Amino acid sequence: MARDLIVDGELVLYGPVGGDWWDDSGFTAMDVIQSLAQMDGDITVRLNSGGGVAWDGVAIYNALKAYAGAVTIVVEGVAASAASIIAMAGDEVEMRAGALMMIHNASTITWGTAEDHEKSRELLAKLDGQLAAIYAERTGLDLAEIRALMDAETWMDAAEAIDKGFAGTADDEKAAKASAFDYRLYAKAPKALQSQSKKLKAPAAAQPWGVLMNAAAPAAAPRKPVKTTPSAAPAAKPEASMPDTSTAAPAAANDNAITEAKAAAKARIGGILNHAEAAGREALAKHLAFETDHDVEAAAKILAVAAKSGETAQQEESPAAHADRRAKASGLTAPTGGDKKPAARADWSKITARFKPRSA
């Protein structure tokens, strides 16, 4: 179920872009779309994110750009990686004193043959080009300079971001603490952020920023040690010839569960990539396989209504009609009641009605 991100009439985007594998933090593109459907007029978006999944970042950027009212984005702590793309959607972009913004090239994990790795390289190169174009449009810098900044993994404070055109104004209010994230994933993250990451009990963002091409299923969260109360008389130690098997069964069961989960994930991915409807729609098939949790049947429905490479639509389709068609194809329908959150009761036509092209 989509999370309601509205707080006191403002859209609050804190945590990993695309959500987090390890806990319930972060936000997804659908969370943002559902929340925007409840909002009217000009809005403020409060952003504090270390990054996340590129596709969600781009989808959120497009949703904010299509919103009918003016959008002011305030970078309250950090807008790194995928979050920096979201920041580019603001009609106005403000940065608090001490806030940071970072841009870099997308990354991914691939397993397989040389051909598999080459396909990943081609997709990442295309994605980097699209992201560079978004930055260039916002800043007015030429693509060569933008690509150099991305290659270098560039971290900017408010003054530097304003100077380069990534932000418009600085806010005197002190920056919030950077959102929880494993900033050690980044080669040039400030030492303060890396030190903050060392204190995490679990990774705040296990996946690299970008498109997860052939990423393995996330490992099971580490088991917490069981606290025991000492008894009056300590239990006798097992004989040396009798190995202690008290934890063997649970450990074996856990290993089996991980193996089965990986096998199921591999079967699902293969089913989507090798489906007949994937022919000519390979890029979308990869996105559905590695960036969503759609099963094979749901993914096939989405692929069936998507244009193949080289095909052009016979007539232009409005953003609302396009979103409605894709939603129907993927089986998305508005909940019919019983949910406590107002966002869950909004029907799809109301959601898509908000997204009208905004004049320049």
Instruction: Tell me the per-residue pLDDT of 178-207, one tens digit each, with 9 for 90 and over.
Output: 998 889 989 999 999 988 887 765 444 444
pLDDT for the residue numbered 60: 96
| pLDDT greater at residue 127 or residue 243 | 127
What is the mean predicted confidence (pLDDT) over 221-229? 37
| pLDDT greater at residue 74 or residue 219 | 74
- Where is average pLDDT lowest: 84-98, 131-145, 149-163, 238-252? 238-252
Q: How far apart are CA 230 and CA 227, in angstroms?
A: 10
**Would the pLDDT of 347 be above 70?**
no
pLDDT for the residue numbered 323: 52
pLDDT for the residue numbered 293: 72
List, in sequence order, the alpha helices (H) in 99-224.
114-139, 143-151, 158-164, 191-198
Q: Tell me the percentage of the chain whose pLDDT exceeds 90.
A: 47
| pLDDT greater at residue 257 or residue 65 | 65
**Would the pLDDT of 214 be above 50?**
no
Tokens coding 199 = 């204190």
Q: What dotted CATH number matches 6-198?
A: 3.90.226.10
| pLDDT band (50, 70, 90) for residue 283 | confident
Which residue has 């993994």 as its token pair? 153
- Where is average pLDDT lowest: 17-21, 178-182, 241-245? 241-245
| pLDDT greater at residue 151 or residue 323 | 151
In which element (H, E) is residue 32 found? helix 29-36
| pLDDT greater at residue 274 or residue 207 | 274
Backbone φ/ψ region at 82: left (φ over 0), alpha (ψ -120 to 50), beta:
alpha
pLDDT for the residue numbered 23: 63
Please state the three-class secondary structure of 237-303 as a single string.
CCCCCCCCCCCHHHHHHHHHHHHHHHHHHHHHHHHHHCCHHHCCCHHHHHHHHHHCCCCHHHHHHHH
| pLDDT greater at residue 134 or residue 330 | 134
Annotated active-site positions, please? 81, 104
Q: How far apart are CA 48 and CA 166, in angstroms?
A: 16
* Beta-bridge partners for 43: 71
- Where is average pLDDT lowest: 178-192, 215-229, 257-271? 215-229
* Beta-bridge partners for 71: 43
Work out the number of other CB atoms within 10 angstroms of the CB of residue 44.
Answer: 17
| pLDDT greater at residue 359 or residue 74 | 74
* CATH code 3.90.226.10 region(s) in the chain: 6-198
Contact in structure between 77 and 46 (CB atoms under 8 Å): no
Question: Is the Cα torsion angle 254, 257, 263, 267 positive or negative in sign?
Answer: negative
| pLDDT greater at residue 8 or residue 345 | 8
Say which residues have a Cβ less than 8 Å from residue 56's Cβ, sequence separation at least 6. Answer: 17, 18, 28, 29, 82
| pLDDT band (50, 70, 90) for residue 327 | low
Q: How far apart are CA 31 and CA 37, in angstroms?
A: 10
